Chain A
Amino acid sequence: MNNAAEKKLALSHLWVAFAAFIVACFMGEYQVLERSGLFPSLESPTVYFASVSTHGVLMAFVLTTFFIMGFGYYIASTSLKQPVWNKPLAWGGFWLALIGVVLAALPLLSGKASVLYTFYPPIVAHAAFYIGATLLVVGSWVWCLIMLVMFTQWKKANPGQNVPLAMFATAANALLWLWASAGVALEVLFQLIPFSLGWIDTIDPGLAKTLFAWTLHPIVYFWLIPTYTAFYVFVPKQAGGFLFSDEMARLAFVVLVVFALPIGFHHLYMDPEQAKGWKLLHGIGTFVVALPTLVTGFTVIASLEIAGRLRGGKGLFGWIGTLPWTNPMVLAVILALLMLIFGGFGGIVNASYAMNAMIHNTAWVPGHFHLIFAGTTVIMYLAIAYYLWPILVGKPLFSNSMALVQLWTWFIGMSVLTTPWHVLGLLGQPRRISTVVYNNLLTLSWKPYELMMILGGLILLGSACLFIYNLVKTQLTPLVGEFTAEIEYAEPIHAVGVLPEYLNDLKLWNKVIAVLMAISFGYPILQFFFMKTFGSSVWGY
């Protein structure tokens, strides 16, 4: 298939994503060093919080959004075997998002937007930060539109046929993101931008936090879905086997998308502006969304077992040894699942009312999301990059063994970084502090863990540099001889018959989401307009 234009589109998005990633990795290591207090000359809250804000925005919003867009375009064109619909529009979305990133980067890097990536008002950043972030989101909406149009067009052209699983997951993610981003879009457009420009004098921080919580949970599933997509559509094939169940994969994506949305209040458990009944409702939904992850774990491990046994593995655990551990994708999935088990355990603590009180806003929280996002999610982004780069640039991967070393060190670094981070949280260290100045004996117990975090960050930084080096070398090394590689999707072990419409379309689920969102966010948002509230005026930082 001649899809050079699609390859260029995907590659451009992925390079922006990984450029943001490597810059943010350097900032991460600076932050652990600064925070440790070992280097007094480094200490500066101004630089520290500018750095933390930029690190968060680059990793959580730029790396993810650009990766998801590039990955989605390529998945759509290869799984549906048709060109990306309206490529000029796709490029328009790319440039809009990129201009947004640059616009937001200016105040971030100059210390005019040290409001962290959660930007909770009434602390206010320079308006360019919010406008830039908005352009990034609007660019991603262009991507959502293209994905959904391609999904619908393909269905129309192929009646009675099943949409390929990879595309079903990608379109589901586009639907998820349109719903998810609406919350923060409302907050930014009606509260933060007018507030930062001085058009309105006061805003309600309670309403702002509620709207942000709307986005805050499903956004992590927006980031996670490409990882799960790779689990289902790449890993079984790379391991030399078959996908255990295509139907369960679709069901998992549906439950993930539907239940990721109406549960954001677990971020507001400790907040005074929402009542306990709503928190309990969202808390129960939070546990429901663990179900598709448990199912995914089962399907992926079962698919790996099929592969291991096909490769001659015997006995209860013998198949693990026969897996191709030297395939970056297979190695990455094993490491990702290991981190997911521990991260998931931590997540259950966070989701539980009583236990949450002990760890809320402590160092445990960044420890948790680094393990599950920078660990499980991002290690699969890296593995996907190793898989796609040779296909996209038409040259073999520069070094497979370097890729393996890189993935192992990413896993080891993440373990060394996040284990002490969790412990610090249990020992009461608050998150988001630039140095420890509390005159209290308790802080003595924090020291060794902070030192360990420096080491973890250093391993991760080295690992990230290896990753970028490998990609650059792959692209720049001149091609000797011929090389062709095409993307290969895993086949299910049981052929799939004609799927019922609810597993082959998203219209029904869109309606279900609308109902669930109205139930779980309707009153909690409307209450701010019914009760007597007092707005806050603008504060600097």
Chain B
Amino acid sequence: MQTDALKAKSAQLYRDLLTQLSAIHIDHLERKWIAISILIITLLVGIITIDALFHGINPPSKVETIDSASLHLSKEFAEENLGVQTDDNGNIVVRMVAGRYSFFPKHIDVPAETPITFRWVSMDVLHGVHIPMTNMSTMIVPGYVAEITTSFPKPGEYPLLCNEYCGLGHNHMWSNISVIEKEQWTAKQNAPASAPKGGSANE
């Protein structure tokens, strides 16, 4: 039978491998050290894999393309749609455009302790954005939408910094984000006289 021959062949290959492996001298202390090393690595890989698969801890990885050259013509990233918005399901979505040398809108208010989905696009070159002391970090690659969902536990004023070289003015590329108490934020949103929903672009 074909399968028997195959079985015999793979068994032979397996035996060969074992003889080859046992042919080399490995000190018993070295064996122990290798076992410990493999254990450490398995532990670290295990934590990351479990977090990724069961707790949804993943880096921003939504492979979604967009034409960076005509953002102003796109519906989603037209100027009036930028900034903080609450969608029909009550989710908070922040749409931001990165361009040399600023993030637009220049200033946004978001509530603390609330999941917020950021959607970042570039209108020119490669940028990166990080809010120091938080895990709101992503690269912004022209031609792609970088989407990341996170929440900010601590209210406060945070800078929003470009962290990928984007030209000679790279260090001038920054703006601000205010993380405010949830109740305060909701009250502000409901007050008619407050800033327009999209935030202000001329701050």
Contact = CB atoms under 8 A, between A and B. Distances in A.
Interface of A: 45-46, 49, 114, 116, 120-123, 204-206, 209, 244-245, 247-248, 251, 268-276, 279-280, 283-284, 287-288, 290-291, 294-295, 298-299, 302, 348, 352-354, 356-358, 360-362, 427-438, 440, 442, 494, 496-497, 499-500, 502-503, 527, 531-537, 539-541
A128 to B, nearest CB: 20
Nearest to B37: A294
B73 to A, nearest CB: 12
Nearest to A494: B25
Given A120-B126, A361-B130, A433-B171, A272 B161 contact: no
Interface in B122-154: 124-126, 128, 130, 132-133, 135, 137-147
Contact of B143 (A205, A288, A494, A502): A205
Contact of A298 (B30, B132, B166): B30
Interface of B: 20-21, 23-27, 29-30, 33-34, 37-38, 40-41, 44-45, 48-49, 51-52, 57-69, 124-126, 128, 130, 132-133, 135, 137-147, 157, 159, 161-172, 174
A240 to B, nearest CB: 20
A283 B130 contact: no
A46 B168 contact: yes
Contact of B171 (A120, A276, A354, A436): A436
B29 to A, nearest CB: 8
Contacts of A352: 44, 48
Kindly list the 4 A-B residue pairs having the minimum CB-CB distance in the complex, ordered from nearest: A428-B132, A430-B163, A433-B171, A361-B163
B149 to A, nearest CB: 12
Contact of A49 (B132, B135, B146, B168): B168
B132 A273 contact: no
24 contacts: A46-B168, A114-B168, A120-B126, A121-B126, A123-B125, A123-B167, A205-B125, A206-B141, A269-B59, A272-B60, A274-B63, A279-B58, A279-B59, A280-B52, A291-B37, A295-B37, A298-B30, A361-B163, A430-B171, A434-B168, A434-B171, A527-B63, A539-B125, A541-B167
A430 B161 contact: yes
Contacts, number: 222
Contact of A360 (B37, B137, B165, B167): B137
Given A205-B143, A206-B144, A274-B61, A440 B159 contact: yes
A295 B67 contact: no
B24 A284 contact: no
Contact of B170 (A288, A432, A539): A432
Contact of A353 (B33, B51, B143, B146): B51
B164 A442 contact: no
Contacts of A438: 159, 161, 171, 174
B108 to A, nearest CB: 16
A361 B128 contact: yes
Contacts of A535: 143
Contacts of B41: 287-288, 290-291
A362 to B, nearest CB: 6
Given A276-B61, A354-B51, A354-B57, A348 B161 contact: no
Contacts of B130: 360-362, 428, 430
Contact of A533 (B26, B65, B128): B65
Contacts of A284: 45, 48-49
Nearest to A359: B137
A348 B128 CA distance: 22
A442 B159 contact: yes
Contacts of B51: 353-354
Contact of A536 (B57, B63, B142, B172): B142
Contacts of A244: 27, 30
A45 B137 contact: no
A331 B40 CA distance: 29
Contacts of B144: 206, 272-273
A428 B30 contact: no
A280 B141 contact: no
A171 B8 CA distance: 35
With most chain B CB atoms within 10 A of its CB, the pick from A245, A288, A298 is A298
With most chain A CB atoms within 10 A of its CB, the pick from B58, B67, B133, B168 is B168
Contacts of B33: 294-295, 298
B37 to A, nearest CB: 4
B118 to A, nearest CB: 11
Nearest to A291: B37
A247 B143 contact: no
Contacts of A287: 41, 44-45
A427 B48 CA distance: 24
Contact of B57 (A46, A353, A435): A353
Nearest to A355: B135
Contact of A275 (B63, B133, B142, B143): B63
Nearest to A430: B163
B141 A116 contact: no
B168 A541 contact: yes
Nearest to B166: A123
B150 to A, nearest CB: 9
Contacts of B125: 122-123, 205, 536, 539
Contacts of A348: 44
A116 B27 CA distance: 46
A245 B26 contact: yes
With most chain B CB atoms within 10 A of its CB, the pick from A209, A270, A288, A502 is A270
A434 B169 CA distance: 9
Nearest to A250: B24
A442 B132 contact: yes
A227 B139 CA distance: 33
Contacts of A49: 165, 168
Contacts of B58: 276, 279-280, 353
